[in-house]
């Protein structure tokens, strides 16, 4: 079995191994200015137009802490029931790199602003899991090196240098790539609820590194590998999955795991070494003497607590309880607070919750996606949308007609009722009128009628189609079904 | 006119006995005549000075002038000055034109001072003799074969030779007080946080503090009125009201409790200096002060302590000089590492490199606790020791330096003996206290400095104590023979 020295990994092996995953997430805080300077933080500006003398580390400049960033970090800490210290300290992390103008990054080492929190996640099987968050600390981002299209040179864009980040470090509590993604998505939702991050993964506002190791069940933790460059939820899952397999294969073949940093290559779908422990930096952390310790009073923290919104898991729970929605529906609707707000504004207008949920996650989401719009940019106000759904609920129009009207509403200023009136789309609910149409269709198709009555049940659909066509889709489907059944079966015996 | 103090010049300007322009031209002429020997200036800003002097004269015409309007000044080359070379005494910044004014430069310029130039200094303020300057050492006007002290040696030499009536300096371990002592000047290191550090090139952030080098305590008080104050750009500056430092200058010293730290009068001290200080103590007694002997038992630890903390901080503060955005860059680097190594290897001098290496070492994994953390603990101990001393006395008095000005080349090959020349000044920086050095006599024609140390934010009291002494003595009025 081992004679060629190598084995390919089989699923049986995987079962014996237990992945241990911890995540480090860099959340870019939504402040107007940088963490220690007054320069703007907007994304996509021309290179070096948003870098002031402080960001450029000119001689003599000094950092001044952005109070808003501190408040955002505290709000995050409160939302994960973490400890907020009375005194938090900034430290210098020293290393040389051209994207780091000062030669050190102002970060936090001892006394981070948030420690010992937890984030509850709901796994695919409905099980709840509490993921421990070791710490979250404030730090400044580095600049960006540009190499593309340049020969024998690199350019430096320092717009990003000094942008505030909250680095959120979890304990190695995650047991699978899927769990890691659920944790990330839960965190992603949370920071947007708190309005401390725009959550834009493409622009790098929400970045993730994964620490991955494997061990035999109930044994000591294995050597961990840090995987970087995970800029989408899908890549996180794929990269961790790849890394777990890679490690198991090495261990199964009697090898050892190198403690190293690996980069995920999304094109090749593999991880490869970036740097190993050999040339690991000694960052020489020490408290930054340019910044005094940040003193946080209980009063200030309590004031911030009062500004916390209803948190996603609470809202999710309430949606299930108050609106009778499934966990799945509630999760989708509460994935962003603006979507949840839209839903609640619609339901407020006496629209059945399930109907509203289906339409928002179905038609509305699809249309918004297609137009590349966010929910808050919806051309359809909750009120107009609610009126449409009311007409469905009170049987004025059928669901199909409603879809046509929905498209018209998207493009016009007309009200739902105007469209129904002018286009004569009102659902026919008068029994006599429906019977008249049924009779006419049956009379026009004697052969099919005979076949049906002879037992060819499949033709039922044919009649429904013909009747709907004759009525321009305006019949109430349930009513039609009852009456048609009655008519067809009347002479069947 | 160079015989006048700042306050005398201020009166003369106000009474239109002289104009700002005349004053500026007079001192510029002296610089031209004497500085080739003294080497106290790195940059002379003659054109800039003439313009500022014209503006000052306009203010006198309009009646909008203040006490510092039209007063010629020189800034240590550690302070950023917009559009003017700010070298910090280093090859690394030899080509650096600052794009902004330090808060202190701005305040003094708003007050109407006329900038004559930027003064020589030890490279990045690391040194006690001015010999580490990339531009060569400045000389002591009392004896050109001797050092003016450091790191603010250019400022002290220039004021001592009356090439400028006042100058700014910075003090990390004695860099204002030691050169003041060696050049017969009044030099004040304010309380940490009293004067903004914004725009002052950082050496050791937790110790650096800017202050005046002047002829008298009164002149220092006039400068402090403008230099002191909270600056929102400096997170370590303290929002404490600024008194008018001239108001209390003449307060009586009746009942002032003066403490003499017995450790400052040990065998390390030149006995002749001890005699000068003892004479001064007797004069204070005559002024009504009461003299007490006190002890600072841990003060023998301050030199190594200082070199751990200052080196640690500078190793990080000077990381920004990497040849990428400004300053010196080596020619034709092969790759990034080569760029870093050669830029820093060629751009920094020996003393700076020594301290960067020491600082990097004490912060390294495995050594951090033994050096840096331990040093911080001892620093707390030193702070406590001073607190306890100030429960017994109002002011501490002692020598500023263990020796008078030493010969050029005497100590620069032996870092330890050089470091020991700051033995009496360093503790003050570690504890963040205000202290000043004033002239207290001469030994063989070389000035002796006396140091007064107070609790935080007692600059007014220190200046008052110094001023009363200067009213009954004339050491501070003595000028070096060749510069009269």
Answer whether B319's CB lies under 8 Å from A104's CB.
yes
Answer whether B395's CB lies under 8 Å from B453's CB.
yes
A69 plus A191 within the same structural domain: yes
A94 to B316: CB separation less than 8 angstroms, yes or no: yes
B233 to A64: CB separation less than 8 angstroms, yes or no: yes
A3 in a structural domain: no
pLDDT at A475: 78
E-assigned strands of B274-359?
290-294
d(CA A364, CA B72): 74
Is residue A286 within 8 angstroms of chain B, CB to CB?
A: yes
ipTM over 0.90 threshold: yes
pLDDT for B338 beyond 60: yes
pLDDT at B73: 98
Range among A215-229, A322-336, B104-118 rated most confident: B104-118
For β-strands A114-122 and B446-453, DSSP reports them as unpaired
Q: Exposed (0-12), middle (13-18) or buried (19+): which is A140, by Cβ within 10 Å?
A: buried
Per-residue pLDDT tens digits for A389-406: 998 888 888 888 888 888
Residue range B163-176: mean pLDDT, rounded? 98
B316 to A101: CB separation less than 8 angstroms, yes or no: no
Range among A41-50, A189-198, A458-467 rated most confident: A189-198
pLDDT at A4: 45
Least confident range of A66-80, A396-410, B343-357: A396-410
Half-sphere exposure of B155 (CA within 13 A, CB side): 41
d(CA A194, CA A180): 21
Q: Considering A274, A298, A322, which residue would you say is the last residue of a domain?
A: A298
Arithmetic mean of pLDDT over chain A = 90
φ/ψ (deg, to 5) at A27: -105, 120
Q: Which residue has the tokens 């659909």?
A: A461
DSSP state of B412: T
Give the residue from chain B lying closest to A102, CA to CA.
B320
Answer whether B75's CB lies under 8 Å from B118's CB.
yes
d(CA B307, CA B28): 38
Largest interatomic CA distance in chain B: 70
d(CA B463, CA B246): 8
What's the token pair of residue B216? 């008298």
Answer whether A402's CB lies under 8 Å from A392's CB.
yes
A361 plus A461 within the same structural domain: no
What's the token pair of residue B103? 């808060």
Mapped onto helix, strand or coil, the DSSP state of residue B440 is strand
* CB atoms closer than 10 angstroms to residue A332: 20
d(CA B467, CA B484): 23
B329 in a structural domain: no
B235 to A56: CB separation less than 8 angstroms, yes or no: no
Could you tell me the residue range of the domain that residue A32 belongs to?
11-298
Answer whether B154's CB lies under 8 Å from B77's CB.
yes
Nearest-CB residue to A65 (from B235, B313, B336): B235
**Of the candidates B148, B191, B136, which has an alpha carbon nearest to the alpha carbon of residue B429?**
B191
Per-residue pLDDT tens digits for B442-451: 999 999 999 9
Mapped onto helix, strand or coil, the DSSP state of residue A473 is coil
Task: Work out the angle at residue B385's Cα, subtended by the Cα atoms of residues B379 and B387, and round it to the nearest 5 degrees.
Answer: 105
d(CA A443, CA A459): 15
Mapped onto helix, strand or coil, the DSSP state of residue B237 is coil
For β-strands A260-265 and A225-230, DSSP reports them as parallel
B34 in a structural domain: yes
pLDDT for A167 beyond 70: yes
Choose, out of B319, B323, B372, B429, the residue to mutate when testing the contact with A (most A CBs < 10 Å): B319
B235 to A98: CB separation less than 8 angstroms, yes or no: no
Domain count for chain B, please give it. Answer: 1
| B-chain residues near A61 (CB < 8 A) | 198-199
Answer whether B404's CB lies under 8 Å from B182's CB.
yes
B13 in a structural domain: yes
Q: Which residue has the tokens 């990034």?
A: B336
Contacts of B72 (CB under 8 A, 6+ apart): B23, B24, B27, B49, B113, B114, B116, B164, B165
First to last CA, chain B: 11
Which residues of B lie closer than 8 Å to A, measured between beta carbons? 79-80, 86, 88, 93, 96, 98-100, 102, 197-202, 204-206, 232-236, 312-313, 315-316, 318-320, 322, 324-326, 336, 340, 360, 363-365, 368, 372
A59 to B93: CB separation less than 8 angstroms, yes or no: yes
φ/ψ (deg, to 5) at B118: -115, 135
CATH of the domain at A450: 1.10.10.410
Least Cα separation, residue B378 to chain A (angstroms): 16
A83 plus A35 within the same structural domain: yes
B19, B103, B109, B151: which one is catalytic? B151
Mapped onto helix, strand or coil, the DSSP state of residue B212 is strand
Mapped onto helix, strand or coil, the DSSP state of residue A24 is strand
Could you tell me the residue range of the domain that residue B405 belongs to?
6-256+393-483
How many CB pairs (< 8 A) connect A and B? 95
Per-residue pLDDT tens digits for B89-126: 999 999 999 999 999 999 999 999 999 999 999 999 99
DSSP state of A364: I
Mapped onto helix, strand or coil, the DSSP state of residue A34 is coil
Answer whether A331's CB lies under 8 Å from A365's CB.
no
B176 band by pLDDT with thresholds 50, 70 and 90 = very high
A2 in a structural domain: no
A175 in a structural domain: yes
Least Cα separation, residue A107 to chain B (angstroms): 14
First to last CA, chain A: 72
A5 in a structural domain: no
B19, B20, B40, B76: which one is catalytic? B76
d(CA A346, CA A352): 9
Is residue A48 within 8 angstroms of chain B, CB to CB?
A: no
Nearest-CB residue to B324 (from A98, A104, A286): A98
Per-residue pLDDT tens digits for A13-40: 556 899 999 999 999 999 999 999 999 9
B213 in a structural domain: yes
B16 is catalytic: no
Question: If you write DSSP's letter for every residue of B102-121 in order, what string do you get?
Answer: -HHHHHHHHTT-EEEEEE--
pLDDT for A480 beyond 50: yes
Domain count for chain A, please give it. Answer: 3
d(CA A254, CA A98): 40
B330 in a structural domain: no
A21 plus A114 within the same structural domain: yes
What's the token pair of residue A39? 């320069």
| B-chain residues near A56 (CB < 8 A) | 325
Q: Which helix (H) or strand (E) holds A170?
A: strand A164-170
B163 band by pLDDT with thresholds 50, 70 and 90 = very high
A5 band by pLDDT with thresholds 50, 70 and 90 = very low
* CB atoms closer than 10 angstroms to residue A81: 12
| B-chain residues near A58 (CB < 8 A) | 80, 98-100, 325-326
Q: Which residues of B228-263 are buried (b: 16+ CB within 10 A; e: fewer)?
A: bbebebbbbbbeeebeebbebbeeebeebebbbbeb
A412 band by pLDDT with thresholds 50, 70 and 90 = confident
Q: Which residues of A23-60 are buried (b: 16+ CB within 10 A; e: fewer)?
A: bbbbbbbbbebbbbbebbbeeeeeeeebbbbbbbbbbb
A407 in a structural domain: yes
A276 band by pLDDT with thresholds 50, 70 and 90 = low
pLDDT at A492: 55
B380 is catalytic: no
| B-chain residues near A63 (CB < 8 A) | 235
Residue range B366-375: mean pLDDT, rounded? 95
A106 plus A254 within the same structural domain: yes
Residue range A51-73: mean pLDDT, rounded? 98
Q: Which helix (H) or strand (E) holds A131?
A: strand A128-140
pLDDT at A9: 55
B264 in a structural domain: no
B266 is catalytic: no
φ/ψ (deg, to 5) at B222: -60, -40
d(CA A264, CA A49): 31
**Of the candidates B278, B284, B253, which has an alpha carbon nearest to the alpha carbon of residue B264?**
B278
DSSP state of A402: H
Mapped onto helix, strand or coil, the DSSP state of residue A132 is strand
pLDDT at A184: 97
A465 plus A444 within the same structural domain: yes
A80 plus A205 within the same structural domain: yes
CATH of the domain at B110: 3.90.1300.10
What's the token pair of residue A49? 């137009």
pLDDT at B441: 98
d(CA B155, CA B93): 19
A28 plus A107 within the same structural domain: yes
B96 to A101: CB separation less than 8 angstroms, yes or no: no
B88 to A59: CB separation less than 8 angstroms, yes or no: yes
Q: CA quadruple B447, B448, B449, B450: dihedral positive or negative?
A: negative
In terms of DSSP H, where are the helices of B111-216? Answer: 153-160, 177-183
Give the residue from chain A lying closest to B204, CA to CA.
A289
pLDDT for A1 beyond 50: no
Is residue A289 within 8 angstroms of chain B, CB to CB?
A: yes
Question: If you write DSSP's letter for every residue of B10-76 in order, what string do you get?
Answer: HHHHHTTSS-HHHHHHHHHHHHHHHHHHH--EEEE-HHHHHHHHHHHHHHHHHT---TTTT-EEEEE
A270 plus A175 within the same structural domain: yes
What's the token pair of residue B159? 């004021």
Q: Considering A246, A272, A298, which residue would you say is the last residue of a domain?
A: A298
Q: Considering A422, A442, A459, which residue would you say is the last residue of a domain?
A: A422
A76 plus A98 within the same structural domain: yes
pLDDT at A3: 41
d(CA A425, CA A406): 13
A96 plus A225 within the same structural domain: yes
A53 to B100: CB separation less than 8 angstroms, yes or no: yes
The rounded percent of chain B whose pLDDT value lies above 70 is: 100
pLDDT for B318 beyond 50: yes
Give the residue from chain B lying closest to A64, CA to CA.
B235
A22 plus A159 within the same structural domain: yes
A443 band by pLDDT with thresholds 50, 70 and 90 = confident
Task: Find the helix packing angle between A177-193 and A233-252, rounded to 10°.
Answer: 150
């Amino acid at each position: 079995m081992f004679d060629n020295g190598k084995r390919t990994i089989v699923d049986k092996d995987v079962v014996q191994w237990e992945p241990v995953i911890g995540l480090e997430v860099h959340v870019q805080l939504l402040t107007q200015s940088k963490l220690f300077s007054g320069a703007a933080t907007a994304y996509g500006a021309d290179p070096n137009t948003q870098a002031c003398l402080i960001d450029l580390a000119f001689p003599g400049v000094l950092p001044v802490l952005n109070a808003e960033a501190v408040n955002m970090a505290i709000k995050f800490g409160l939302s994960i029931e973490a400890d907020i210290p009375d005194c938090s300290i900034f430290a210098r992390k020293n290393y040389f790199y051209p994207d780091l103008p000062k030669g050190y990054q102002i970060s936090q080492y001892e006394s981070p602003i948030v420690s010992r929190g937890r984030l509850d996640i709901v796994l695919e099987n409905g099980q709840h899991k509490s993921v421990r968050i070791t710490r979250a600390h404030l730090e400044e981002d580095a600049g960006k090196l540009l190499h593309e299209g340049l020969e024998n040179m690199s350019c430096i864009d320092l717009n990003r240098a000094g942008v505030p980040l909250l680095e959120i470090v979890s304990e190695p509590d995650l047991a699978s790539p899927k769990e890691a993604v659920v944790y990330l998505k839960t965190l992603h939702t949370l920071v947007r609820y708190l309005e401390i991050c725009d959550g834009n993964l493409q622009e790098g506002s929400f970045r993730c590194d994964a620490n991955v190791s494997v061990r035999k069940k109930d044994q000591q933790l294995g050597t961990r590998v840090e995987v970087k460059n995970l800029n989408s939820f899908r890549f996180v899952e794929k990269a961790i999955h790849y890394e777990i397999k890679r490690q198991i294969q090495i261990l199964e073949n009697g090898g050892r795991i190198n403690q190293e940093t690996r980069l995920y290559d999304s094109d090749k779908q593999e991880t490869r070494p970036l740097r190993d422990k050999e040339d690991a930096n000694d960052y020489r952390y020490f408290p930054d003497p340019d910044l005094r310790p940040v003193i946080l009073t209980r009063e200030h923290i309590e004031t911030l607590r009062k500004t916390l919104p209803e948190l996603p898991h609470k809202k999710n729970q309430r949606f299930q309880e108050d609106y009778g929605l499934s966990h799945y529906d509630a999760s989708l609707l509460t994935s962003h607070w603006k979507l949840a707000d839209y839903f609640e504004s619609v339901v407020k207008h006496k629209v059945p919750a399930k109907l509203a949920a289906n339409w928002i996650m179905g038609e509305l989401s699809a249309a918004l996606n297609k137009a590349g719009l966010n929910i808050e940019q919806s051309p359809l106000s909750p009120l107009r949308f609610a009126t449409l759904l009311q007409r469905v609920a009170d049987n004025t129009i059928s669901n199909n007609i409603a879809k046509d009207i929905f498209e018209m509403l998207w493009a016009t200023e007309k009200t739902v009722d105007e469209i129904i009136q002018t286009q004569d789309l009102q659902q026919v609910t008068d029994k006599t009128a429906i019977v008249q149409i049924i009779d006419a269709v049956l009379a026009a198709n004697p052969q099919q009628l005979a076949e049906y009555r002879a037992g060819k049940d499949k033709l039922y659909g044919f009649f429904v189609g013909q009747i709907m066509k004759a009525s321009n889709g305006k019949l109430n489907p349930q009513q039609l079904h009852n009456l048609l059944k009655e008519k067809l079966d009347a002479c069947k015996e | 006119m160079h015989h006048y103090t700042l306050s005398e010049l201020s009166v003369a300007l106000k009474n239109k006995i002289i104009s700002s322009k005349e004053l500026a031209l007079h001192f510029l002429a002296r610089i031209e005549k004497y500085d080739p020997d003294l080497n106290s200036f790195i940059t002379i800003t003659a054109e800039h000075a003439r313009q500022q002097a014209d503006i000052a004269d306009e203010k006198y015409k309009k009646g909008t002038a203040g006490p510092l309007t039209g007063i010629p000044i020189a800034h240590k080359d550690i302070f950023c000055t917009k559009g003017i070379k700010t070298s910090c005494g280093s090859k690394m910044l030899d080509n650096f034109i600052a794009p902004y004014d330090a808060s202190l430069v701005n305040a003094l310029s708003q007050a109407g001072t006329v900038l004559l130039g930027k003064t020589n200094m030890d490279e990045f303020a690391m040194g006690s003799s001015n010999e580490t300057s990339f531009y060569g050492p400045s000389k002591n006007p009392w004896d050109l074969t001797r050092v003016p002290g450091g790191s603010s040696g250019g400022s002290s030499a220039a004021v001592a030779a009356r090439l400028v009536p006042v100058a700014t300096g910075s003090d990390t371990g004695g860099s204002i007080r030691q050169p003041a002592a060696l050049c017969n000047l009044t030099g004040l290191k304010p309380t940490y946080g009293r004067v903004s550090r914004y725009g002052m090139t950082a050496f050791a952030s937790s110790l650096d503090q800017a202050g005046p080098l002047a002829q008298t305590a009164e002149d220092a008080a006039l400068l402090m009125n403008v230099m002191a104050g909270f600056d929102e750009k400096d997170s370590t500056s303290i929002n404490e009201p600024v008194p008018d430092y001239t108001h209390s200058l003449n307060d009586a010293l009746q009942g002032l409790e003066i403490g003499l730290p017995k450790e400052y009068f040990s065998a390390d001290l030149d006995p002749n200096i001890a005699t000068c200080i003892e004479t001064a103590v007797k004069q204070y007694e005559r002024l009504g002060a009461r003299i007490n002997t006190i002890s600072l038992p841990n003060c023998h630890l301050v030199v190594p302590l200082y070199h751990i903390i200052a080196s640690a901080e500078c190793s990080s503060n000077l990381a920004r000089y990497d040849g990428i955005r400004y300053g010196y860059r080596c020619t034709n680097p092969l790759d990034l590492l080569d760029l870093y190594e050669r830029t820093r290897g060629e751009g920094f001098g020996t003393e700076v490199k020594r301290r960067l290496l020491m600082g990097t070492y004490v912060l390294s994994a495995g050594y951090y606790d033994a050096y840096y953390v331990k040093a911080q603990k001892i620093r707390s101990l030193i702070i406590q020791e001073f607190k306890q001393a100030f429960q017994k006395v109002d002011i501490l008095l002692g020598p500023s330096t263990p020796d008078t000005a030493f010969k050029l080349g005497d100590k620069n090959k032996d870092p330890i003996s050089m470091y020991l020349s700051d033995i009496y000044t360093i503790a003050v920086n570690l504890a963040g206290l205000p202290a000043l050095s004033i002239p207290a006599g001469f030994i063989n024609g070389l000035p002796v400095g006396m140091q007064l140390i107070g609790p935080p934010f007692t600059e007014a009291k220190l200046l008052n104590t110094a001023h009363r002494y200067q009213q009954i003595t004339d050491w501070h009025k003595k000028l070096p023979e060749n510069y009269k």
